[in-house]
Amino acid sequence: MTTIVAKEVKYRTTRSWNPFVGCNFRCSYCKPSFQNLIAWLGRMHNCELCQQYSPHEHSERLTRIPSDRAIFVCEDGDIAFANPDFMGKVFGAMQKDKKKGRVWFVQSKNPRCLGQYLRMLPENTFLLTTLETNRDEGYERISSAPKPSVRYRGFLSLQWEKKMVTVEPILDFDPPIFTKWIESLKPQAVFIGYNSHPEVVSLPEPHKNKTWQLIHALETKGIPVLKKEMRDRRVRKKAYRDFL
């Protein structure tokens, strides 16, 4: 697995490409950082919908694919809220792209929505979903996204080889169940990190030792794990580029 990632995704930087922006999942941990950033960008680009983080299209960006080799598609939103016809145009632009060695990342917290697009995706596309925990109880207080168990089954059902899992921000979990979930998805990488704004948003987090045990269990199975915000002096904050 490590060999596959190193061979296919060994680039130094990722760049966002956002022909679609916005999300209605209203995750409590998202607003303090990410949504505020999008609002600022909306003011910079004079886009009121960006400032509100309302799902909307920027068709003028379809032909403005960055020159970087690794592209995070529609990172500034969740394509679960996008019009499928418009996303067909987005994936069509990806198919027409001729840059050698290009790698794409496509993520959603409703992975079932990705199933309709599988035939449109270039082979060098990695699909991602967020799984902060295996626990459904009380999750509606954190996000209106599909419950973790629903998200897990949806991602598991996708017939696509290149998958990654984001466990960020990590929430308290049941080790045997959660470990089994992630292993069964056969991800080519897992990203794990804590809430980066604990002073603003309080979340039910696991003890760091529990998290390190999860990381060890996954790495023992040969699954590459990228440690992001771990609140630990042993680990500096990282980004997706550390796998690229």
Residue type for 54, please?
S
Question: Alpha carbon of 64 to those of 71, 132, 150: distances in Å?
Answer: 12, 32, 35
Residue 200 has what pLDDT? 85
Pick from 100, 192, 201, 110: which is nearest to 147 by CA? 110
Distance in angstroms (rounded) separating the CA atoms of residues 86 and 193: 32
Residue 138 has what pLDDT? 96
Matching CATH number, 2-243, of 3.40.120, 3.40.50, 3.20.20, 3.30.450: 3.20.20
Question: Alpha carbon of 189 to those of 50, 136, 210, 233: distances in Å?
Answer: 30, 24, 19, 23
Residue 14 has what pLDDT? 80
Residue 161 has what pLDDT? 96
Note whether 112 and 160 are within 8 A (CB).
no
Residue 2 has what pLDDT? 33
- With a cut of 70, list the residues of the chain below it in pLDDT: 1-13, 34-35, 231-244
Residue 240 has what pLDDT? 45
Residue 52 has what pLDDT? 85
Residue 32 has what pLDDT? 72
Residue 232 has what pLDDT? 62
Domains of the chain, by residue range, sit at 2-243
Residue 121 has what pLDDT? 98
Task: Order the strands of the 103-107 sheet from edge to edge.
Answer: 14-17, 70-73, 103-107, 125-130, 163-167, 189-192, 225-227
DSSP one-letter string for the chain: -HHHHHHHS--S-EEEE-SEEB--S--TTTIIIIIHHHHHHHHHTT-HHHHHT--EE-GGGTT---SSSEEEETTTB-GGGS-HHHHHHHHHHHHH---TT-EEEEE-SSGGGGGGGGGGS-TTEEEEEE---S--TTGGGT-SSPPHHHHHHHHHH---S-EEEEE-S-----HHHHHHHHHHH--SEEEE---S-TTT----PPPHHHHHHHHHHHHHTT--EEE-S--BTTB----GGGG-
